[in-house]
Amino acid sequence: MTGSLAGPSIWSRMMSGQTGPVCVVLIALFVLWYVGAVFMNAPTQIDKYNRADQTWTTSQLIEDTLAQERPILPAPHQVAQEMYKTIFATSITSKRSLVYHSWVTLSSTLLGFGIGTILGIVLAVGIVHVMTLEKSLMPWVISSQTIPILAIAPMIIVVLGAIGIKGVVPKAVISTYLCFFPVTISMVKGLRSPQVIQLDLMRTYNASKWQTFWQLRLPSAMPYLFASLKVAIAISLVGAIVGELPTGAQAGLGARLLAGSYYGQTIQIWSALLTAAFVAAMMVVIVGWCERRVLARMGVKA
């Protein structure tokens, strides 16, 4: 007994925190991805062997399915290599650089997000304060989101192009179109969230509408605003990518996706997809960081 390790086993110590379980899930996902890649790419690989009259072993099959040039499902390491090549090993001014394409998409995402957020807040303020605006605007706000963005995006691009507006603005308009909606809906709810007792309190001070808005409604709406901004920034990116599809694949992550699918470059598609996901995740993290800063300044219990 004297030589044995005291205390919990390595396994239980590893799994007691968060790192252990998160790693396990991550590893499981990678294993699943590799297994998927082998099974999905195997038929074409076996076809290739048969046409070349080649004999093959299982280990050779696995090795080859994970190293195809145009696999149906590329293996993680292939995507990682492609991403390394196009992000770090390529000059960012090059048209082959994912950093360049990400920036193109990000610039219209941020512009659209900015305009969409302002538009969303302005609409919500109007809806909350003017009875007729609620009746007249709200149905349009909701029905605007029932139109598939894929259907309306090319029209926006074409119409704006016809009056000479090209480049970043049409894509930002599509982002705006998507992202004002959650902001409006959340802000209407947030601006109406003060309790009756708090509104009565402002009334006893004979506060003006503007003072009530500034001192009570807007601060009450902040948690609602940030929740909607996290959704808005992510779908704003989706809007920008969709906006890049009908422009003939000039630049941007959407263009990379489209070009990749034209030429069956699945590795390129997956690299662009993962990069888009990463960019979206980073922006959500940044919004979350702003949220914590603002709410901490507002004295919210940590």
Instruction: List residues near other proteins by CB under 8 A.
Output: 195, 197-198, 200-207, 211, 215-216, 219, 222, 298-301
What's the min distance (Å) between Cβ of 203 and other proteins? Answer: 6
Residue in this structure with the two tokens 């290599």, named with its chain if needed: 81
Among 236, 222, 230, CA closest to 276? 236
- State which residue, 96 or 209, has the beta carbon closest to other proteins: 209
* Least distance from other proteins to the Cβ atom of residue 220, Å: 8
Token duo for residue 54: 């080649």
Tokens in use for 71? 């696999």
Specify whether the CB–CB gap between 244 and 56 falls below 8 A: no
- Rounded to 10°, the helix 98-129/76-87 angle is 90
Inter-CA distances, 149 with 10, 156, 167, 236, Å: 51, 10, 19, 12
| 3-state class (DSSP) for residue 70 | coil
Shortest approach of other proteins to residue 237 CB, angstroms?
31
Q: Can you list the alpha helix ranges (DSSP code H) found in the chain? A: 10-16, 19-51, 58-65, 76-87, 98-129, 131-144, 149-162, 168-191, 196-204, 209-212, 218-244, 253-262, 266-297
In the complex, what is the shortest distance from the CB of residue 224 to other proteins, in angstroms, rounded to a whole number? 14
Q: How far is the CB of 291 from other proteins (least distance, A)?
A: 14
| Start-to-end C-alpha separation, the chain | 46
Q: Which residue, 179 or 225, is less far from other proteins as judged by CB?
A: 225
Toward other proteins, which CB reaches closer, 39 or 205? 205
Shortest distance (Å) from residue 208 CB to other proteins: 8
Quick one: tokens of 98? 């994912």
- Closest CB to other proteins among 31 and 300? 300
Integer angstrom CA distances of residue 6 from 3, 12, 65, 76: 9, 13, 46, 40
* Both tokens assigned to 96: 């082959």
CA gap 142, 124 in Å, rounded: 13
In the complex with other proteins, the residue whose CB is nearer, 136 or 208, is 208
> In the complex with other proteins, which residue's Cβ is closer, 205 or 263?
205
CB nearer other proteins, residue 277 or residue 300: 300
Identity of the residue, 53 or 200, whose beta carbon is nearer to other proteins in the bound complex: 200
Considering the complex, what minimum distance in angstroms separates the CB of residue 118 from other proteins?
A: 22
Q: How far is the CB of 213 from other proteins (least distance, A)?
A: 12
How far is 255 from 80, CA to CA, in rounded Å?
20
Place of tokens 């506060």: 207
